[in-house]
Amino acid sequence: MGEAYIVKARRTAGGRKGGRLRDWHPADLAAQVLDDLVGAQDPALFEDVIMGCVGQFAQQSTNIARNAVLASKLPESVPGTTVDRQCGSSQQALHFAAATVISGAMDVVIAAGVESMTRVPMGLPFKLAQDAGAGSYMSPAMQKRYPGIQFSQFAGAEMIARKYDLSKDALDQFGFESQQKAAAAAKADAFHGEIVVVEGRDAEDRPVEHRVDEGIRFDATLEATRAVKLLSPEGRLTAATSSQICDGASGVVIANARGLKALGVPPIARIHQMTVIGEDPVIMLEAPINATRRALAKAGMSIDDIDLFEVNEAFASVPLAWLKETGADPAKLNVNGGAIALGHPLGASGTKLMATLVHALRARRKKWGLQTMCEGGGLANVTIVEAL
């Protein structure tokens, strides 16, 4: 069987809602990443673009992967297709790209993701459909199976906090530490190798270089974190222990041995194992735990074999429950901070985390990395990579 290698992994710095990336059309923002990934290579060597996006509506509709290709320097001959596996969309795009090059059907594929949560707010397609009388995504058969259930990631995150006995103090501590780690990484220029610098607009509408994740709170304190209002009166989570709404784009170049030869560049990592599972869609965000167990078993590895973990911080309860159940070393988790500080641009987060993971492994001269994230509908992807 063939191999799948990562040749390049890049992302934009995250932009806050209405922040420095507010003027970017999402197709054009994604095109900036595509152009960076192509670099000085012959654009015709790239055989497909598989792009994750959750809010496939309005400016992100009509196959944004293809639209991003048409906005980039890639030739019209390069196709594109858009994937929705909710928050894991671009991680799934990576899996599809890797499977394609492993099969030999193609040799060089870009897996990418984009989300402008400023221009296409979360939940907007559902709300507009409801307001227009176009109906709900929940079919009669689904409603019969889950009577009276309104699927909610916020509710699921609180369920996890209660199920795994995670106190508000523990959640607040985790949220504060995410900000601390992200601030330290930014100050040390640890993200330099993974960030595509684009032009943004500051609060006074002046052009600025956008190279630092806008959500990092460099002055965060534990006291201020604890003081943030609860999301629900009886809950434990706050905005300070939840991922930030974010604009961003990301991508990786995936190639097999033949593709590496054509590109004439060495790989920076190898895809070692890929897993995706589905579980209870009500608690929804718990699936990374069993997905990690399955991926490790299939890879013939233990949790202690892994050098670094990226577990998406959709809510602090998710990685904390994951740590509790897997027994992973907390010191290896999200070492440069996570989505609580850096933002969670939905469909872009999968390849965004992979860019951070691969660069962190190489910077620390470590070998094995594992990435996972919770996804709407009770889904979870896991990718195990070997840094080269």
What is the set of active-site residues? 87, 344, 374
Q: Which residue in 116, 192, 179, 154 sits closest to 315, CA to CA?
A: 154
Instruction: With beta carbons less than 8 A apart as the criterion, state whether 314 and 152 touch.
Output: no
| Residue 115 to residue 68: CA distance in whole angstroms | 12
**Rounded Cα distance, 345 and 246, in Å:** 5
- C-alpha separations of 366 from 8, 154, 259, 361 in Å: 18, 35, 25, 5
What does the block give as tokens for 187? 């100050």
Residue ranges of alpha helices (H) inside the chain are 26-38, 64-70, 89-103, 124-131, 140-145, 153-163, 168-187, 222-226, 257-263, 287-299, 317-326, 339-342, 349-363
DSSP state of 327: -
Per DSSP, the three-state class of 34 is helix
Q: Give the Å distances, CA to CA, from 56 to 89, 125, 291, 311.
A: 11, 8, 26, 24
Closest CA to 273 of 105, 386, 104: 386
Q: Report the alpha-carbon distance of residue 65 to residue 288 in Å, rounded.
A: 27
Which one, of 179, 190, 108, 174, lies nearest residue 361 by Cα? 190
Cβ-contact 56, 30 below 8 angstroms: no
